[in-house]
Amino acid sequence: MQNAGMLALGLDWRYLAFNVHPDDLEEAIQGAQQMRFVGLNLTVPHKRLALDLVDSLDASAEEWGAVNTIRFEGLDSQGAWVPMGHPDADAFRELRSVGFNTDADAILRACQEELKTVFSQLEVLLVGVGGAGRVAALKLASAGVKRLHLMNRTISRAEGVQAEIKARYPSCRVEVGYPQVEVDLLVNGTSVGLNPSDPLPLDLDKVRFSRDASVYDMIYQPAETRLLAQARAAGCRVANGLGMLLYQGARALEIWTEGEVPVGAMREALESHIYGRTEGKRKGSS
């Protein structure tokens, strides 16, 4: 996805994967900075650790309490911090790392663009409040949904996120457990469904969907989970987690380049790599 985006932008950059032990994360970030990398993406378990390892935090990383994108910057001759993707970057002597979070916006953008949802009107049921689900819950609360219903295998975890939402977004109505009202948007943030033989992440017989209901599954492999297949059969609009993956990556490339990025080329590369060109479009969303 990133290499396709960089290629389409005509950049001579490369995106590479490195396996770094959490104990070595600080040295890895410093090493990448010394080698004048443009930036980094981080995944679990590094996202929270990196909060204390970068020189500066963007508001997005502070707000969501995790760093999934680092941009390296250099001090230019005018005394301004400039991204290392800048053509004059070779001349910069003083460097720093800045942490960002692009995950939280990605779930909202994916639901907006793929399911055409207008959040202020919605009764939202989110099942699964682990790492990704908690951030989605906070983001949905900040987007001003009508009401948020949280479910999680470990109920105390859902109650913890409920308390966090009440403290941070006091105007958001948030409840724990199966909703007693019709649901407009159901989001699966559990890992149940990653394996095709997995059961449903919740009892669908206990959920009443509204007429235009949508279902979003953060899982993108398999392209159609059991949940999405049943929701589609019940007449719901459905989308899988590919969009979420795409938009967190597209935003990261925007941060590194400080410009518009070719989302279409990036999506095409993702679909091709994960599904073999057309399967994701055909089965993962409708």
Residue bearing tokens 């095709």: 196
Q: Which is nearer to ligand NAP, 191 or 272 (CB)?
A: 191
Q: How far is CA 134 from CA 34, 64, 103, 169, 174, in A?
A: 34, 9, 11, 14, 13
| Minimum gap (Å) between residue 158 Cβ and ligand NAP | 8
Query: Which window, 49-57, 177-185, 189-197, 251-259, contacts ligand NAP (CB under 6 A)?
Result: 189-197
| Packed helices 242-257 and 263-275: angle between N→C axes, nearest 10 degrees | 140
**Residue choice 220, 253, 263, 270 for contact with ligand NAP (CB under 6 A):** 220
Q: Measured between alpha carbons, how far is 238 from 285 in angstroms, rounded to an integer?
A: 5
**Residue choice 85, 99, 179, 241 for contact with ligand NAP (CB under 6 A):** 241
Regarding 261 and contact with ligand NAP (CB under 6 A), the answer is: no
Regarding 160 and contact with ligand NAP (CB under 6 A), the answer is: no
x/- map, 119-158, ligand NAP, by CB under 6 A: ---------xxxxxx------------------xxx--x-
Regarding 283 and contact with ligand NAP (CB under 6 A), the answer is: no
For residue 214, what are the β-bridge partners?
A: 185, 237
- Give the residue ranges of DSSP H helices in the chain: 2-8, 25-34, 46-49, 59-64, 103-115, 131-142, 155-168, 226-233, 242-257, 263-275, 279-284
Catalytic residue set:
47
Contacts with ligand NAP by CB under 6 A lie at: 44, 128-133, 152-154, 157, 189-192, 194, 201, 218-220, 241, 244-245
